[in-house]
């Protein structure tokens, strides 16, 4: 259920509406728009049936939300969600690129990467400290040491960091170091983990599961948002089909569908979608043209020496070319490269 307030509603009137709804055992979430405030009501909506909501001072209209994802739905917010990220903002007219290696391998390689991708236009640095790997014998990250490296590079360069959290037992530890928490494709329906990161109130980059529908992805976002954390970025990274020519099948249509269905920012991960570096640029251009709000791109100083995903990682020079090549595509759809972080004053 969504309650729409009249123009000029006072804070006291909003508080009164919330108190009436919450007294019935439902939770409320506020979305402040340019002209109206929307109060989302989550819980047993049958309890509201006997309440004359339209008689409450400040209420203009009441609308049921038929979609199962209430808070993530476009109806919940009349404005696009914008999420602070370091010195920049995700969403709106800007186009945000987050770049870095699949895994944090050491301080020197992370410093070399950050010193290059930041000036090239990246707004954030990615790198996995804990890595989910298909084989238990593959490199699975440096753990907390990797988190410390990310935090040190952030202090040196001003680039906010994104890293994956894999387990509820790691969540608070990772949140203590990272500016944004990534939920990987394998964990998209790990509901205990989604609930936990929802409580931590860090921005969450939520990747689509390899066999998940768009509805599944939005309901996964709903788990995070139902805990009060509205800072969710959805990420299309390709789905598993019968096709073997690419690592995954990039669902380009998912981007405009998500932009129609939700107010949340939408990213694309061209590295995992294509699986080889020569597909990263064309998939990035396609995502930008389709309306994505940003990209998550794997970049490594020496891809052939990467401990994971070297075949799909761009070199530093290739990342420079990608950022230059994006400009005309962004201009064509009225977007601007935005949010590049700069190093803090010495």
pLDDT surpassing 80 at residue 339 = no
Q: Which CATH class, in words, describes the domain spanning 83-337?
A: alpha beta
pTM: 0.87
Give the HSE-up count for residue 85: Cα atoms under 13 Å, Cβ half-sphere.
36
Calculate the alpha carbon distances from 116 to 16, 131, 244 in Å: 52, 24, 33
Task: State the pLDDT at residue 32.
Answer: 82
Strands of the chain, DSSP E: 2-5, 27-32, 37-42, 59-63, 83-85, 88-90, 94-100, 124-126, 161-164, 180-183, 204-207, 232-236, 266-268, 294-298, 336-337
Tell me which of 3.40.50.720, 3.30.70.1140, 3.30.950.10, 3.20.20.70 is the CATH number of domain 2-64: 3.30.70.1140
Task: State the pLDDT at residue 274.
Answer: 96
> Where residue 137 falls among pLDDT bands split at 50, 70, 90?
low
* pLDDT tens per residue, range 160-172: 999 999 999 999 9
- In whole angstroms, give the CA distance from residue 131 to residue 76: 35
Question: Does residue 274 contact residue 312 with C-beta atoms inside 8 Å?
Answer: yes
* pLDDT tens per residue, range 199-245: 998 999 999 999 999 999 999 999 999 998 999 999 999 999 999 99
pLDDT surpassing 80 at residue 45 = no
Domain boundaries, the chain: 2-64, 83-337
Cα angle: 123, vertex 126, 131; to 5 degrees:
165
- In whole angstroms, give the CA distance from residue 268 to residue 22: 37
* pLDDT tens per residue, range 252-309: 999 999 999 999 999 999 999 999 999 999 999 999 999 999 999 999 999 999 999 9
Pairing state between β 27-32 and 37-42? antiparallel
Question: Does residue 187 contact residue 142 with C-beta atoms inside 8 Å?
Answer: no
Nearest to 85 by CA among 295, 300, 340, 288: 340
- Cross-strand bridge partners of residue 63: 2
Pairing state between β 27-32 and 294-298? unpaired
- In whole angstroms, give the CA distance from residue 203 to residue 225: 11
Nearest to 298 by CA among 269, 274, 321, 264: 269
- Cross-strand bridge partners of residue 163: 181
pLDDT surpassing 80 at residue 248 = yes
């Amino acid at each position: 259920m969504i309650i729409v307030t009249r123009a000029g509603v006072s804070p006291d009137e909003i508080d009164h509406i919330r108190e009436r709804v919450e007294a019935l055992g439902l939770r409320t979430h506020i979305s402040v728009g340019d002209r109206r405030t929307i109060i989302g009501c989550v819980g047993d909506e049958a309890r509201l049936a006997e309440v004359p909501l339209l008689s409450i001072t400040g209420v203009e209209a009441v609308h049921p939300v038929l979609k199962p994802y209430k808070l993530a739905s476009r109806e919940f917010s009349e404005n696009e969600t914008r999420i602070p990220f370091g010195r920049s903002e995700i969403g709106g007219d800007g186009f945000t690129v987050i770049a870095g290696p699949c895994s944090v391998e050491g301080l020197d390689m992370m410093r070399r990467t950050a010193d290059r991708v930041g000036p090239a236009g990246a707004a954030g640095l990615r790198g996995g400290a804990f890595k989910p790997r298909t084989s238990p014998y593959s490199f699975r990250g440096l753990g907390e040491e990797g988190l410390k490296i990310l935090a040190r590079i952030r202090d040196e360069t001003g680039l906010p960091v994104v890293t994956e959290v894999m387990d509820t037992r790691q969540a608070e530890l990772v949140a203590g170091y990272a500016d944004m928490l990534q939920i990987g494709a394998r964990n998209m329906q790990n509901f205990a983990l989604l609930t936990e990161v929802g409580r931590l109130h860090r921005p969450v980059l939520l990747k689509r599961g390899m066999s998940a529908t768009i509805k599944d992805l939005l309901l996964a976002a709903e788990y995070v948002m139902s805990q009060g954390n509205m800072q969710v970025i959805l990420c299309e990274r390709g789905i598993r089909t019968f096709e073997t020519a690419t690592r995954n099948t990039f669902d380009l249509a998912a981007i405009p569908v998500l932009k129609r269905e939700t107010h949340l920012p939408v990213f694309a991960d061209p590295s995992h979608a294509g699986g080889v570096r020569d597909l990263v640029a064309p998939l990035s251009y396609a995502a930008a043209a389709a309306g994505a709000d940003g990209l998550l791109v794997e970049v490594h100083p020496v891809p052939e020496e990467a401990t994971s995903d070297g075949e799909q990682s761009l070199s530093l020079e290739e990342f420079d070319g990608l950022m230059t090549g994006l400009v005309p595509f962004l201009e064509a759809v009225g977007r601007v490269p935005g949010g590049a972080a700069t190093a803090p004053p010495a």
